[in-house]
Amino acid sequence: MTKTIIQTEKDFKELMQKMSSYEQALGLLQWDARTKAPKKGADQRSEVIGSLSTELFKLKTSEETGRLLEEILQADKDVVSNVTRQSAKELKKEYDRSIKIPEDEFREYSILTAKSESIWEEAKEQNDFEMFRPYLEKIVQFSRKFADYWGYEGHPYNALLEDFEPGMTVDTLDQVFSRLRDGLIPLVEGVTSSSNKPQTDFIFRSFPKDNQKQFSSEILSQMTYDFEAGRLDETVHPFAIGLNPKDVRVTTKYDENDFRTAVFGTIHEGGHALYEQNLPEELAGTVLSDGTSMGIHESQSLFWENFVGRNKKFWENNYDLLQSYSNGQFKDVNLDQFYHAINEAKPSLIRIEADEMTYSLHIILRYEIEKGLINGDIEVADLPKVWNEKMEEYLGVIPPNDSQGVLQDVHWSFGAFGYFPSYALGYIYAAQLHQAMRKEIPEFDQLCQKGELSSIREWLTKNVHQYGRMKSPAAIIKDATGESINPEHLLHYLSEKYKPLYQF
């Protein structure tokens, strides 16, 4: 029996390594498609992505995979390693969901989403929602169908949430987001009515792209990002992708008339990358070598972007460096003026450019729209109108066109329904982690001031990174902070920061 299990474990590890090889190849194709790939190759590339995705799907749903999972999960605990057993548990969840989807439908869906991403990019450039609409309608139909295949309790959106934030439900999100929204509204009103507005004209002066890249690279190095295990590239919609812990890539978007887009975008994606680069070697090649959820992943990017990158002490260390790369746009701007400007809070149109105060309202808006799309209360044809109405209701602004409205995000083009809540969850988690870290590292601000960020990264590795998917999102937060999800820490942080800044 023991000999059989030893062979089973060996076969299972080889199976996971093969799956990992497919995933890395697909990841490389997706990175290439979003960075350097020629547009005319989109259709053929989509077919290749569809073929590889289908082969991976076959592998994950094969009878052999089912047999190996059953044998490992039935084996005595002292016979197989903890990593193998936990890997089998995670893969079994995916297996049970995947076998419910017909193979031909999965292939069709994979090709559709590969094509639709390039169509979305073109539609956004041309401000043409109708160009993207038929693709999105098919993706929504698939998402509704997949939710029915998988099964769910309560709201059908729960089935989609499981892919991104295991264990999270609409009931919990409604409660947490309601508390967050109710706490944010008076803060936004206070900032909006304040007469102590920052001067920001210097933000929008020309800052050469190459100089922005050099500065961004220096900040990534300061964050302890390993360039020998990664790279920084340009894209339309910033992202980080981990092919494996030794190859984790960051992308950013440069705007020569607003340096913040690249700088804070790079820090944000760098936070994602640090998570991937610091996953333990023992998990490499297994299904556990990944972030435990998108919410926890976002907690890392938002922690670095906001709690470090927008910290005044961080800029006490880096403002001179920024000035050295700029075109002289900050020569008459002191640090206090600069700090207030980069922490300007006001309702805005674009999520990725939103300030800390209003960011979560952008997410809550998308969450409510997604729920409506999945349960049939909202149809794709109505999206521009619904989007604009909610923007006016929550943020008091109306997009002048669909490129700055319903077409601004890439997520729906590749079928990521259930993803958006992770951004607000990640922000809540980040605030909780920040609070817990300051108790253990009271010199947090001083480390930011000195540019000595390795201790901060090491705390995150100890409490988050090192577990990969060995721990659930809820367990990560509970063990690191001593409590379950709690939006009050984020509201406290925003209140403590912005009331003095805006004097209200």
Which CATH number belongs to the domain containing residue 415 in this structure?
A: 1.10.1370.30
- List CB contacts of 393: < 8 A, sequence separation 6 or more: none
Residues taking part in catalysis: 269
| 224 occurs within a structural domain | yes
Amino acid at 188: V
Q: Which of 78, 105, 131 is the last residue of a domain?
A: 131
**Sign of the CA dihedral 405, 407, 410, 416?**
positive
- List CB contacts of 7: < 8 A, sequence separation 6 or more: none
Tell whether 440 is in a known binding site: no
Kindly state the average pLDDT of the residues 220-247: 96
Q: Is residue 228 predicted with pLDDT exceeding 70?
A: yes
Amino acid at 370: E
Distance CA 221, CA 329 (A): 24
Q: Assess contact for 18 and 58: CB atoms under 8 A.
A: no
Kindly state the average pLDDT of the residues 169-184: 97
| 138 occurs within a structural domain | no
Q: Is residue 433 predicted with pLDDT exceeding 60?
A: yes
Per the structure block, which two tokens stand in for 291?
Answer: 């972030």
Structural domain for 18, as ranges = 2-131
Per the structure block, which two tokens stand in for 223?
Answer: 């964050």
pLDDT of residue 65: 97
Distance CA 382, CA 167 (A): 31
| 151 occurs within a structural domain | no
pLDDT of residue 474: 96
Tens-digit pLDDT profile for residues 370-397: 999 999 999 999 999 999 999 999 999 9
Tens-digit pLDDT profile for residues 55-85: 999 999 999 999 999 999 999 988 999 999 9
Distance CA 226, CA 274 (A): 8
Q: Are residues 177 and 121 in the same domain?
A: no
Distance CA 181, CA 424 (A): 11
Q: Are residues 276 and 344 in the same domain?
A: yes
| 248 occurs within a structural domain | yes
Per the structure block, which two tokens stand in for 116?
Answer: 């639709």
Q: Are residues 420 and 350 in the same domain?
A: yes
pLDDT of residue 3: 59
DSSP string, 443-501: THHHHHHHT--HHHHHHHHHHTGGGTTSS-HHHHHHHHHSSS--THHHHHHHHHHHHHH
Q: Are residues 108 and 216 in the same domain?
A: no
Q: Binning pLDDT at 50, 70 and 90, where does residue 140 land? A: very high
Q: Binning pLDDT at 50, 70 and 90, where does residue 42 land? A: confident
Tens-digit pLDDT profile for residues 244-292: 999 999 999 999 999 999 999 999 999 999 999 999 999 999 999 999 9
| 370 occurs within a structural domain | yes
Q: Is residue 28 predicted with pLDDT exceeding 70?
A: yes
Q: What is Dmax (Cα atoms) for the chain?
A: 76
Q: Are residues 71 and 217 in the same domain?
A: no
Mean pLDDT of the chain: 96
Q: Are residues 254 and 124 in the same domain?
A: no
Q: Are residues 436 and 303 in the same domain?
A: yes
Q: Are residues 273 and 369 in the same domain?
A: yes
Per the structure block, which two tokens stand in for 23?
Answer: 């995933």
Q: Binning pLDDT at 50, 70 and 90, where does residue 496 land? A: very high
Kindly state the average pLDDT of the residues 446-469: 98
Q: In the chain, pLDDT over 90 holds for what percent of residues?
A: 94
Distance CA 156, CA 363 (A): 19
Q: How many residues does the chain have?
A: 504
pLDDT of residue 370: 98
| 93 occurs within a structural domain | yes
Amino acid at 357: M
Distance CA 291, CA 467 (A): 8
Q: How far apart are the first and last CA of the chain?
A: 71
Quick one: 192 exposed, middle or buried, by C-beta within 10 A (0-12, 13-18, 19+)? middle
Tell whether 121 is in a known binding site: no
Phi and psi angles of residue 456, each rounded to the nearest 5 degrees, phi first: -65, -45
Q: Are residues 61 and 190 in the same domain?
A: no
Kindly state the average pLDDT of the residues 225-248: 95
pLDDT of residue 8: 95
| 154 occurs within a structural domain | no
Phi and psi angles of residue 288, each rounded to the nearest 5 degrees, phi first: -85, -10
Count the domains in the chain.
Answer: 2
Q: What is the 3-state secondary structure (H, E, C) of 225-267?
A: CCHHHEEEEECCCCCEEEEECCEEEEEECCCCCCCHHHHHHHH
Per the structure block, which two tokens stand in for 156?
Answer: 């059908």
Tell whether 268 is in a known binding site: yes
Q: Assess contact for 95 and 115: CB atoms under 8 A.
A: no
Q: Assess contact for 422 and 164: CB atoms under 8 A.
A: yes
pLDDT of residue 2: 57
Q: Which of 103, 131, 159 is the last residue of a domain?
A: 131
Q: Are residues 340 and 415 in the same domain?
A: yes
pLDDT of residue 353: 82
pLDDT of residue 1: 46
Q: Is residue 36 predicted with pLDDT exceeding 90?
A: no
Q: Are residues 94 and 231 in the same domain?
A: no
pLDDT of residue 444: 98
pLDDT of residue 182: 94
Q: Which of 84, 103, 131 is the last residue of a domain?
A: 131
Q: Is residue 164 predicted with pLDDT exceeding 80?
A: yes
| 92 occurs within a structural domain | yes
Q: Are residues 122 and 238 in the same domain?
A: no
